[in-house]
């Protein structure tokens, strides 16, 4: 079995839960996902099955989310699962929120939540947090390409946002930092990922529709659909060379960089073109 799945991860399941379920269904051990979603979150979870796991590095990694922020309270985890830390009765207007959001657009530096899986000195941050140990958290550079208000209920102080961002962006941190910027605190109470690279919510498949091997096979996506690189059909001689890991000369593809190698319109390898020479980095024969 070889290909991608666009799975809709439900609330209450971890990303690892989804992988474990699919391993039981397919009997395939080589299964991975391209981006962790917290248990309370839902939405698009790209899955790679079989040798398609070797293609993860070639997939687009931008993300898009719809998140709901509860203003007036901050938590230890920056989301609904944490313990309360600070509270405020202050109410803010839509104009004040829009003005504050301007600080979160474009290239920014973001501090990850202490309750996250990022490693510092070989330990995950949440391991330090659970033991009450101090650890220095370094800010990370992320890009927020789009950030807009979808809805704001001023009475209950709930704010719904659409966020399009780079890999590694913590929406929980945006909720917490926005609350601090507004002087009213905040935490994330709902999160749905609506896009991960080329995987979009409208085309996702629910877990309950992937309970048999036949259902999984029916929903498998050919990697060629989501690999946005130049594609090249190999000649007989070139195919023979690629099969043995040998480089090939090529002047038919103008640009240099990653090239998807095909044989009879089927994926056989991924190469890197430099100075007219394609060297294979992955072979699928």
Helix (H) or strand (E) segment spanning residue 97:
helix 94-101
Cross-strand bridge partners of residue 147: 163
pLDDT in tens, 5-45: 999 999 999 999 999 999 999 999 999 999 888 889 999 99
Please check the confidence at residue 245 and state whether its pLDDT lies above 90.
no
HSE at residue 74, side-chain half, CA atoms within 13 A, is 18
Taking 80 as the threshold, does the pLDDT of residue 145 lie above it? yes
pLDDT band at 137 (very low <50, low <70, confident <90, very high): confident
Whether residue 132 has pLDDT greater than 90:
no
User: What six digits make up the tokens of 127?
Assistant: 């391991």
Question: Hey, what domains does the chain have and what are their CATH numbers?
Answer: 3-59+198-225 (3.30.2350.10), 63-195 (3.30.2350.10), 231-283 (2.30.130.10)
CA distance 43 to 7: 8
pLDDT, tens digit, 9 for 90 and up, residues 254-269: 788 999 999 999 999 9
Calculate the average pLDDT of the chain. Answer: 92
Question: Counting Cβ atoms within 10 Å, is residue 285 exposed (0-12), middle (13-18) or buried (19+)?
Answer: exposed
Q: Does residue 124 have a pLDDT over 90?
A: no
For residue 131, pLDDT beyond 70? no
Can you give the pLDDT at residue 150? Answer: 98
Share of the chain above pLDDT 90, in %: 79
Q: How many CB atoms lie within 10 A of CB 263?
A: 17
pLDDT at 94 over 90: yes
Does 61 participate in catalysis according to the annotation?
A: no
Alpha-carbon gap, residue 152 to 228, rounded angstroms: 37
Q: Which one of the listed residues 17, 38, 62, 134 is annotated catalytic?
A: 38
């Amino acid at each position: 079995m070889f290909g991608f799945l666009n799975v809709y991860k439900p609330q209450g399941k971890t990303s690892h839960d989804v992988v474990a379920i699919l391993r039981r269904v397919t009997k395939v051990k080589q299964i991975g996902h391209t981006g962790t979603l917290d248990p309370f979150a839902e939405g698009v979870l790209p899955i790679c099955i079989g040798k398609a796991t070797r293609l993860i590095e070639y997939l687009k990694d931008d993300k898009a989310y719809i998140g709901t922020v509860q203003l007036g309270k901050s938590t230890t985890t920056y989301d609904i699962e944490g313990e309360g830390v600070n509270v405020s009765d202050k109410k803010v207007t839509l104009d004040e929120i829009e003005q504050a959001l301007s600080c979160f657009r474009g290239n920014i530096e973001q501090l990850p939540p202490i309750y996250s899986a990022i490693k510092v000195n070989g330990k995950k941050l949440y391991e330090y947090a659970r033991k009450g140990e101090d650890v220095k958290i370094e800010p990370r550079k992320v890009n927020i390409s789009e950030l807009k208000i979808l809805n704001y209920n001023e009475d209950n102080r709930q704010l719904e946002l659409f966020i399009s961002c780079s890999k590694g962006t913590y929406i929980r941190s945006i909720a917490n930092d926005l609350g601090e910027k507004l002087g009213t605190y905040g935490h994330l109470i709902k999160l749905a990922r609506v896009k991960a690279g080329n995987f979009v919510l409208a085309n996702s498949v629910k877990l309950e529709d992937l309970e048999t091997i036949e259902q999984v096979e029916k929903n498998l996506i050919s990697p060629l659909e989501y690999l946005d690189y130049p594609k090249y059909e190999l000649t007989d001689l070139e195919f023979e060379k690629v099969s043995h890991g040998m480089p090939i000369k090529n002047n038919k593809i103008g640009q240099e960089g990653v090239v998807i190698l095909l044989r009879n319109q089927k994926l056989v390898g991924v190469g890197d073109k430099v100075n007219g020479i394609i060297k294979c980095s992955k072979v699928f024969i």
